[in-house]
Structure 1
C-alpha cells in the first residue's frame, strides 16, 4: 500500500473489552496507507483490550472522547469487535449518534466481528447486506439486514467481516472503500 489514504482521517470507535487485533491491525494498515487514525472512546482514559474476550491484552491509548468529536472531523469510521466493546458502545447516546452521522453523510464505515451490534442500535443496517460474528446475525436480521456468511462484504461503503481470521481481507477492503470516499446515502432507518 502506498499512501492511498494520504490526507484522510479515520476514527476507530472502541472502549474497554475491544478485541485487540481488530483495533490494532486496521489501525496499522490504515496508517501504512497514509491515513491519520484516532482511537475514539467514551472518555480519554486508556482502554483495556482483550484477546478472545478472556485474556487481557494491551492497554490502548485514546486520542479523543466521542462526546468531543463529530463525524464531520473524519473521513471514515472503523468499529472493531470483542463482545463487551460494542455492547457498551451501543448504550452510549454519543457513540450511537457518532455512528449515525457517518451514515447520514455517506462516509464509509467498517465493522468486524461483534462491531455491527453498534450499527443495530444506530438503526443503520435496514436494507443492507453484511456479515458478522455468527452470534449476532439474528440481531442484524431483526434490524432489517440481509446477512451472509462471507469473509468480507461491502455494501455501498459499509465493509463488514466475521472474525479476526478475516482481517487481511477486511483491511484491504477498508483501504479501497476509504480511498473511494463518500457513497450515496441509503434512506433507511436513522438515515431516513
Structure 2
C-alpha cells in the first residue's frame, strides 16, 4: 500500500489539507498527518486545530511514496522556513518519489528548483519568481513526479489525481463515484 506524508505547519489551509487526506484514505492510501512545528496539534489559518499522527522528527522520510504540502498563509512560509522540510523534499526528488503541493505551496517547490522544466499551477501570484517552469493556471497539473493544484476549489480533484497516480484508475473511479463527484452524476 502506498504511503503519503502530509506536512502540516501552523497557519495551513485546513480544507485543502483534509480534503486531500480524506480522498487518499478513502482510496486505501496510508496517509499520515505530520507536524513540522514540534507540537502534535497544529492550528490552521482559520483557527481549526488538527491533531497530527506524528512529529516530523518521528517520521521516516524514505518511507513515503508521496509528500504532500497543503497551502495557506502563514502555513506555506512556515513550511518553507523549516530546513528539515527542504531536506526531505530534496531527498524525495533525488529518490524519484512523488511530491504534491496545492495553492501557495508549489512556490516552495519552485524556490527549491524542483519545478525546473516542468508545468505547474498554484494560487495566482505565487508563481512570481519561478522562471524556469511553465505556470499553466489550470486547476490540477501533474508533470513528471510533481503534482500541483491551484487552490481550495480544486482540492477534491487534486486528491483524486493523487489517488489515481498512487492506486490506479479503478480506485480513482470508485472513490470519485462514492463521493458523488459532479463528473459521475
Please give the range of the TM-score, normalised by the shorter of the 2 chains. 0.7 to 0.9
Does residue 1:120 correspond to 2:110, yes or no? yes
- In structure 1, runs of 5+ residues without a counterpart are 1-6, 181-192
Does residue 1:153 correspond to 2:141, yes or no? yes
| TM-score between the two structures when normalised by the length of structure 2 | 0.84
Residue of structure 2 equivalent to 1:9:
3
Query: 129, 133, 136: which one pairs with 1:139?
Result: 129
1:81 to 1:146, Cα distance in 2 relative to 1, 3 A:
same
Q: Is 2:7–2:69's contact at 8 Å kept on the other side of the alignment? A: yes
CA displacement at 1:94 relative to structure 2: 0.4
Query: 40, 48, 53: which one pairs with 1:45?
Result: 40
Partners of 2:41 and 2:78 lie apart in 1 by 15
Over aligned residues, Cα RMSD in angstroms?
A: 1.5
- In structure 2, runs of 5+ residues without a counterpart are 169-185
Does residue 1:178 correspond to 2:169, yes or no? no
| TM-score between the two structures when normalised by the length of structure 1 | 0.81
CA displacement at 1:117 relative to structure 2: 2.5
